[in-house]
């Protein structure tokens, strides 16, 4: 039989603090989207921003990257560095051109 154990005030406060920190790190405020739609609208442009993901010691910085191709297609990715994002974009453009 499972029983709920009562917590003392310190444990409860610690639990709430941990929960709020976790919630804050998982909700990313971004300038790159408005209502879930990318703000990268002009063909040939890129937008990027860095954010932190994870909790405690596992926290790491990542880059969210959007690129609007001249054809109007949106490329989007998340990588540890901007250079890695651009390398993935270049691979995507090359694969897109090879299909033609």
Read off the pLDDT of residues 84-97 as tens digits, 9 standing for 90 and up. 999 999 999 999 88
Q: How confident is the model at residue 2 (pLDDT cuts 50, 70, 90)?
A: very low
Q: Give residue 31's pLDDT.
A: 66
**Cα-only R_g, the chain:** 20
- Residue 58 has a pLDDT of 83
Q: How large a percentage of the chain has pLDDT more than 90? A: 23
Query: What is the rounded distance in angstroms from the CA atom of residue 89 to the CA atom of residue 95?
Result: 10
Q: What share of the chain is helix, strand, coil (3-state, %, to 5)?
A: 40, 30, 35
What is the DSSP code (8-state) at residue 55?
S
User: What are the distances in angstroms from CA 93 to CA 31, 68, 69, 97?
Assistant: 25, 11, 8, 6
For the segment 42-77, what is each residue's pLDDT rounded down to a tens digit? 788 888 888 888 877 788 889 989 998 988 898 999
CA dist 90 and 17 (Å) reads 42
Residues constituting the chain? 100
């Amino acid at each position: 039989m499972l029983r709920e154990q009562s917590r003392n005030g310190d444990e409860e406060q610690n639990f709430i603090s941990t929960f709020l920190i976790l919630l804050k790190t998982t909700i990313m405020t971004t300038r790159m989207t408005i209502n879930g739609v990318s703000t990268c609208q002009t063909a040939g442009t890129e937008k990027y921003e860095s954010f932190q993901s994870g909790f405690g010691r596992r926290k790491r910085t990542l880059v969210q990257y959007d690129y609007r191709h001249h054809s109007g297609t949106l490329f989007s990715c998340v990588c540890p560095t901007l250079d890695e994002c651009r390398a993935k974009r270049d691979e995507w453009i090359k694969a897109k051109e090879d299909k033609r």
